[in-house]
Amino acid sequence: MKAVLVRLCAGAALGLLVLSGGQAGVSAQDNTAAAQAPKPVNPAVAEKLVKYVIIAVDQGNATGNYSVLRELGTARFQAVTSSARLSDAFANLRKIKIDMSALMMLKPVFSKPPAIENGQLKIAGYFATTPIRIRFTMSFAQQNGQPRIASLNIVPVKATAAAGGDALGAAGKSDSQ
């Protein structure tokens, strides 16, 4: 029941901007202002989506098959991101043998509050692990009533350098934008 409620909340959160921008009688100026003002999202919904993606990446790393991760994306994400490209993007995570399933036990630290901007849910942050932190940026868009990955970047960084951004390598960048 709780999982269904979280899924409904995620769908409703992403649908808010679409509904508010599509109402009759809203001027173009109002739409521009609404598109520029980020709409906050419940952090629990954002956490669920982050973990949803992290586990899909971990399964892809374990099997070498990123087709499920790719299929979780929007049509545009799928059009520009092949399973082979995802495999290349996460090669560094596989190389340093990070068990990302362990992240399911931790709460992500959001670098800024998750919010809907220009019709997409934007989430950025990291998992506070040592000696390596996992930094992420993700965006989601509604497609067929479900939040789908629009862009994805997951990078391992040294915990002491996490604030400064010294990446261990370009891992996990797959962005449809």
**What's the rounded Cα separation, in Å, for the pair 132 and 83?**
26
Phi and psi, residue 142, nearest 5°: -75, 135
Q: What is the pLDDT along the chain (177 residues), one digit of tens a residue?
A: 333 333 334 443 443 322 223 222 223 334 454 456 789 889 999 999 999 999 999 999 999 999 999 999 999 999 999 999 999 999 988 898 888 888 999 999 999 999 999 999 999 999 999 899 999 999 999 999 999 999 999 999 988 754 444 443 334 545 444
